[in-house]
Amino acid sequence: MMPFEVRSGWITVRPGSAPDQVLHLVAGGRLDRLDRTRFLDALTAAVTTGRSAVELDVERVTLVDVAVVRILLEARRIAAAHGCVFRLIRPVGRFALILDLTGTRAKLCEPGPVSRRPRVSGALEAGPRPEAPQPPPITSAPP
């Protein structure tokens, strides 16, 4: 028996998203390479419905790996081919860190008129670390 809950990844439509042209989805749990086919199928179905935009709220995601980031980029590509905007909203914690480390936050979290700016964890809110002072150059003494 495991001492903690291991919950498989999930994705669902947020209640109340039907009236407008933006489809609001929510994902949570563990999203890893084992879920990639199911996850890509769900995202493909969402972005090919004729909606102008699909927003995926990822605040409840507890684990993500690089394979899922590739799937998100593929969903963005498929959405663009169907005239749909696909973006993530509210990446936090490790998810936000993975997006930053892979350099994909700008592509996947583009702000737009239908989206709120994604919240980020406190460490990332402060911006990049200041550079450490450089030691003075070593010069050779005259002989």
In a domain, 96, yes or no: yes
In a domain, 114, yes or no: yes
In a domain, 99, yes or no: yes
**pLDDT per position as a tens digit, 9-25:** 888 887 655 556 889 99
pLDDT at 3 over 80: no
Domain CATH code at residue 112: 3.30.750.24
In a domain, 3, yes or no: no
Determine the Cα–Cα distance for residues 83 and 108; give it in Å rounded to an integer. Answer: 16
In a domain, 76, yes or no: yes
pLDDT reported for residue 16: 58
Q: Please state, rounded to an integer, the average pLDDT across all residues of the chain.
A: 77
Number of domains in the chain: 1
pTM tops 0.75: no
In a domain, 28, yes or no: yes
In a domain, 91, yes or no: yes
More confident residue, 118 or 10: 10
Determine the Cα–Cα distance for residues 143 and 97; give it in Å rounded to an integer. Answer: 52
How is residue 31 written in tokens?
Answer: 């999203």
Q: Write out the residue range of the structural domain in which residue 45 sits.
A: 10-121
Residues whose CB is less than 8 angstroms from the CB of residue 40 and which lie 6 or more positions away in sequence, other chains included: 71, 74, 75
Q: Confidence class of residue 5 from pLDDT cuts 50, 70 and 90?
A: very low
pLDDT reported for residue 116: 41
In a domain, 132, yes or no: no
Q: Could you tell me which residues are beta bridge partners of residue 25?
A: 13, 56
